[in-house]
Chain A
């Protein structure tokens, strides 16, 4: 029992509520949302250290004992993701200050952002499957508002599709919960895990597992369910895309990892093989998309899919090494995807276009932006001293250990193509003939580069100081591989 667990949720929730009343006072809005983001970072950083020192922390809401009430659980995996989310959202909020524009700010932009953060953090921290659904809805509802806020034509068009897909997947989520409740009679994840292991290897459990894979796969954009992602992530302005790209799909990934390590772990040979195959296809589709497009945003968007595939490949290998690789890669990818979206956003601000063929020679006038993009691109591909390397190394090692050779090979091959896709942006956008003179530029990057620098430095520290972070990550993976630790912490005894 520890109230610390709920603090990362409460801060953005209260800030979001307060911001509703202040929607006309933009300066106050900025201060409050920055303050709340900084506080969340501090609290969640403390939470990570606390969980590392003292084991899994739980909070029985309203003092009802675990299977009967809702319980919030901060294990190391969840708290690491909470910490990463809060850092990424701080950077995106700082970026919004200069780029989102007064029209959106006056219509509750910052408030909705705070609610989005509440939904994401809640989904990470909850220990109850229906509560997870509710937090998903909090997150999705905020994302609906963010995707359509501003009401340009492309946003209206794409948000219809986005909302429709998510309504369908939410209905499937309710269906899946209903089936699971009929089989087990409980909603608490730890209790579910116990009861499903008592039932043992029944066909119906596997069917429900696959239904959950479909539901979460729809959120995470895995292979056959990714069709909504490219269009809808392209529509909103840059900081919103950065929020979505860095955080929303990762909640789906988190849920898949959580559900398939904690609850559905009795028929691993079947379920995890399916996850592996889908992960492979996700990687392939992701790199094909990333190579095919000349639209800077689209390239990064398809790279989200590749990353999701790589992370799920780590889950499919299902060993401590591969899972710690997956966790490391989630953290790395959240940070670097946000950084890339923000950097690409700065390029779009300067040139006024998404089309790579209309850019060129930006490095002459914007050396800092150029070299930052270079570092981000190299990090994304996983070049040794930087953060993308460690995660992929662990995933590939884990893949070889559990003899998923083709999957590990695919992960390695994908790095090459990812590198090609981002270097296409670098070579065509930054090098070559300068197409825009200083005076012709459509906007200024003033104030836009600090958040990118923040994210990049974190990702460099993550790579260079991997030794320092590794104990946290491997401990988290250890807990995931041994669900009994989680169950013991939640249900006691």
Chain B
């Protein structure tokens, strides 16, 4: 199971890298979304995908899945959610202000401010 997940995560990372290297800002943001999906799935996979009950003591199971990676992922999800929301608003604002979403046009020195 871990092997399959590794391949999926690898594909996610590939797609994220490809999108981040593109010109349009919105594609870049989609790329960062995929990147954080990949990172979160990787946390889950690396914690181990052994069979076990959900980490609720009420289940009275003999074995549980590892609760620690789940807590880490939850933390990482809200953080990346906050950052993504900020980034999206920033992209919106800079589209209004600068009139472009093409990263090539956002280059330049302080001369053309």
A residues apposed to B, CB below 8 Å: 130, 133-134, 137, 140-141, 144-145, 148, 151-154, 156-157, 159-161, 163-164, 167-168, 170-172, 174-175, 177-179, 181-182, 187, 234, 295, 354
Can you report 19 A-B residue pairs in the complex whose CB atoms are below 8 A from each other?
A130-B75, A141-B82, A153-B97, A157-B94, A159-B90, A161-B106, A164-B20, A167-B32, A167-B36, A167-B87, A170-B83, A171-B36, A171-B39, A171-B80, A172-B39, A175-B39, A175-B42, A178-B42, A178-B46
Query: How many Å from the CB of A392 to the closest CB on chain B?
Result: 32
Which residues of the other chain, A, contact B46 by a CB distance below 8 angstroms? 178-179, 181-182
* Minimum CB–CB distance for A300 against chain B, Å: 15
Is B113 an interface residue when CB atoms closer than 8 A count as contact? Answer: yes
Contact with A along B63-88 (1 / 0, CB 8 A): 00000110010011001101100110
Which residue of A161, A167, A234 contacts B83 across the interface (Cβ within 8 Å)? Answer: A167
For A234, the closest partner residue in chain B by CB is B110
Question: Would you give the 0/1 interface string for B13-44, flagging 1 where the beta carbon is closer than 8 Å to chain A?
Answer: 00000001000010010001001101110110
Q: Is the CB of A160 within 8 A of B25?
A: yes
Q: How many residues of B contact A (CB 8 A)?
A: 36
Question: Nearest Cβ in chain A — how far from B65, in angstroms?
Answer: 14
The answer on a CB contact under 8 Å between A174 and B94 is: no
Contact for B47 among A141, A161, A171, A181, CB less than 8 A: A181
Distance, CA A130 to CA B97, complexed state (A): 37
Q: Is the CB of A163 within 8 A of B20?
A: no
Taking a contact as CB atoms under 8 Å apart, the answer to whether B110 and A168 are in contact is no
Chain A residues with CB below 8 A from B97, complex form? 151, 153, 156
Closest chain-A Cβ to B86's Cβ sits at a distance in Å of 6
- Cβ–Cβ < 8 Å partners of B50 in chain A: none
In the complex, the answer to whether B113 meets A178 with C-beta atoms within 8 Å is no
Please determine whether A141 and B76 come into contact, CB atoms closer than 8 angstroms. Answer: no
A345 to chain B, nearest CB (A): 16
Chain B nearest CB: distance from A76 CB in Å?
A: 30
**Does B32 contact A148, Cβ atoms closer than 8 Å?**
no
Are A163 and B106 in touch, CB under 8 angstroms? Answer: no
Determine the chain A residues whose CB is within 8 A of the CB of B28 once the complex forms: 164
Chain A residues near B69 (CB, 8 Å)? 178, 181
Shortest CB–CB separation between residue A353 and chain B, in angstroms?
11
Q: How far is the CA of A148 from the CA of B97 in the complex (A)?
A: 13
Query: Which of A168, A175, A181 is close to B20, meaning CB atoms less than 8 Å apart?
Result: A168
B residues less than 8 Å from A167 (CB atoms)? 32, 35-36, 80, 83, 87
Please tell me if the beta carbons of A156 and B20 are within 8 angstroms of each other in the complex.
no
In the A-B complex, the 9 residue pairs with the smallest Cβ-Cβ separation, listed nearest first, are A182-B46, A178-B46, A174-B39, A156-B94, A178-B43, A171-B39, A171-B35, A178-B42, A167-B32
With an 8 A cutoff between CB atoms, is B11 at the interface?
no
Residue of A nearest to B71 (CB): A130
Report the bound CA distance from A360 to B81 in whole Å: 49
Chain B residues within 8 Å of A130, by CB: 72, 75
Q: What 18 new A-B contacts, CB under 8 Å, besides A133-B76, A163-B86? A: A141-B82, A153-B97, A153-B98, A153-B113, A157-B98, A159-B90, A160-B25, A160-B94, A167-B35, A167-B87, A171-B36, A171-B38, A177-B43, A178-B42, A178-B43, A178-B47, A181-B46, A182-B48
